[in-house]
Structure 1
C-alpha cells in the first residue's frame, strides 16, 4: 500500500494548468485521466495527483510562504534527470524559481531545481543519492 494515496490541487484556470502539468507528470511516468470535475494523473494505479478548478474565480494565485502549500518534491534517479525535468517544465510554461544546482546546505550529494506554475504551485525535482558506506 502506498504511503500517499492522492494529492488534490485547486487551480484558477484548469485548461492552462493541465497544459503546464501534463508534460511534467507524463515525463514522470504518470498516466492522465480527464474527469467531469477535474484532471488526474496516476502512477501504478495507486498514487494520484488531481487538478480541480477553483470554486471562486480570482482567488489565486497562491503566494509561496503563506499558510498552505509549500512545495512537492519529486525524486529523480540522477542529476541529468533533474535537468531534463526542469527543462520540460520550463518548456510547458513553468517559471524557474531556482535553476538546477547542488544544495550543499542539505548535504554534498543533494542536487535540485524548483519551478512554479501560473497558480503559484511550486515543485522540486531532486536527486539525493544515499551516502556511500565506508569500510
Structure 2
C-alpha cells in the first residue's frame, strides 16, 4: 500500500521550508517545527546570540530530551518503579537525622522481642501463720 504524500510549509528560525511528507505525519512534523520555534524563542529571551547559535542550542536541548525519552522506553515498568522507589528512599534517608558523624547513614534496627523467662520449679505455696 502506497502512503499518501502531501506538501506543507513550516517556518523554522524565521525561514519558510516546504516539505513533502506522508499525510499521516503532518501533525507530528508541525509539532516538531513548533517545538524548535519555542526553543529558539526561549533562548532569545535568556541569551544574546546569533541565529545559528540558537539553532544549535535548540537542537542540543531537543536531542537531550529525545535521548531521555529513549532511555525511559528501554527500561521496563518494573525497573522504572524500582528507580523511583530508590530515589524516594534516598530522599527519606537524607531527611532523617540518622548520621553517625562519618557521613554514612545509620539504620536503626528495633530491639528483638524477648519472651519473659519462665519460672523454674514448682510454684510456692502461700505461707500462713498456721503453717509454721
What's the TM-score bracket when you normalise by the shorter of the two chains?
under 0.3
Determine which structure has the larger helix proportion and give its number.
2
Larger Rg: 2
TM-score (norm: length of structure 2): 0.20
Q: Which of the pair is proportionally richer in strand?
A: 1
